[in-house]
Amino acid sequence: MDTRSELQATIKAMVQPGKGLLAADESGPTIAKRFKTIGLESSEENRRAYRNLLLTTPGLGEFVSGVILYEETLGQKADDGTPFPQLAAKNGIVPGIKVDLGKIALALAPGDEITEGLDGLARRFVDYKRQGARFAKWRAVYNITASLPSRLAIEANADSLARYAAISQEAGIVPIVEPEVLMDGEHTIERSAEVTEAVLHAVFHALHRHRVVLEHILLKPSMVIAGSEHAQQSSTADIAAYTVRVLKRTVPSAVPGIVFLSGGQSPEEATANLDAMNRLGALPWNLSFSYGRALQEPPLQAWKGERSHVEQAQQALLKRARLNSAAALGKYEAAQEKS
C-alpha cells in the first residue's frame, strides 16, 4: 500500500460518525498525579495494569475508534501477553502515539512556551510504526493573559506543529494537530475566541507552507471557553456558539475530523458542550472527542488499583464512552435518559 492510501485507510478507520478517541497518553508526571488521587504508586506495573483495564474493556470499540498511547505503553503487553497496539487493533481501535517531548519556556518570550521533539522524529516514527502505531499526536500550548500569547509564540508553535505533521505524513502516519489554548486564567470567553482564532489561522497557514495534506490530518483543538478563574463562567450554549464560529472562520472543509480535548472540564461538561455543537446544524467536519480525563476520571476512581474493581471501572469507562458517542451525534439528552 502506498503512503497516501495508507493515510486514507487510517483516516477512514478513525473518523466514523459517533466514534471518538481515548487519550491514554499521560506522561510519567501526569499519570503519577492521577494515581495520587486514588492513593496508588505510579510504578511501571500499576501503569500497565491500568492501561490493560482500559484496553480490555468489552465493547469499547463500539464508541471509540482510536487510542493515543504513551511511548512506554506502546511497548507494554496485556495480561494475556498481547502487545497493547495489537490488542487495540483486534478490538477495532486504531493505535496511536504521543510524539512530542513536552513544553519548555520559549526563549526571549516571558510567559510563552514551545513544544520540543522534532529532532530525530523521523527515526522515531520508524520504530513507532513497527510497533503498530498508525497515527500520532503533537500538543502545543498557549497561555492567555491580556498580552499572551505573543505573536512569536503563535508562529513558532504553528511552525513546529506543521513540521511534525509533514514528517508524520511522510512516514505514513496520520498526524493529530493539537493547539491547546489553556483555560487557566481570568480571561473572558471573547478573549479565548480571539486567541483561538489567531492560533488556528497561524496553524493552517503553516500546514499549507509545509505541504501537509489536510485530508489526512485530524485537528484536536480546545473549546472556546472563559478562563477557569473568570467570575462569569461560560454557558454550554455560549461555548458551542463561540467555538463553532471560530472553527468556521479558520478550519478548511478539507479537514475530515475535529476531535476536541476536554482541557480541565468535568466529564459531564465536556460531553454536554460537544453535544451542543453537534446540534447547531450541518458542519463540514465530523465533530467528536479525544478525551483523557473526561473519559478516564470515573473509571480511575472506581478502580482505585484494586483487581476486584476492574469490571466496575470498565463499566464506568464504557458509560462515558457511550455518552460521548451520543454527544458526537447530537443525541446526548436521549442517551442520558437511558443511562
Residue 1 has a pLDDT of: 80
Residue 337 has a pLDDT of: 74
Report yes or no: 189 and 226 within 8 Å, Cβ to Cβ.
yes
DSSP state of 26: -
Q: E-strand spans in 203-280?
A: 218-219, 257-260
Residues of the chain scoring pLDDT < 50: none
Structural domains in the chain (count): 1
Residue 339 has a pLDDT of: 66
Distances (CA, A) of 224 to 18, 41, 89, 144, 219: 22, 35, 33, 12, 14
Instruction: Tell me the residue type at 244.
Output: V
Q: What domain range includes position 253?
A: 3-338
Residue 334 has a pLDDT of: 83
Residues in the chain: 339
What's 133's domain CATH number?
Answer: 3.20.20.70
Q: Any idea which residues carry the catalytic annotation?
A: 178, 220
Q: What gap in Å lies between CA 121 and CA 23, rounded to an integer?
A: 21
Residue 335 has a pLDDT of: 83
pLDDT in tens, 34-66: 999 999 999 999 999 999 999 999 999 999 999
The whole model's pTM is what?
A: 0.98
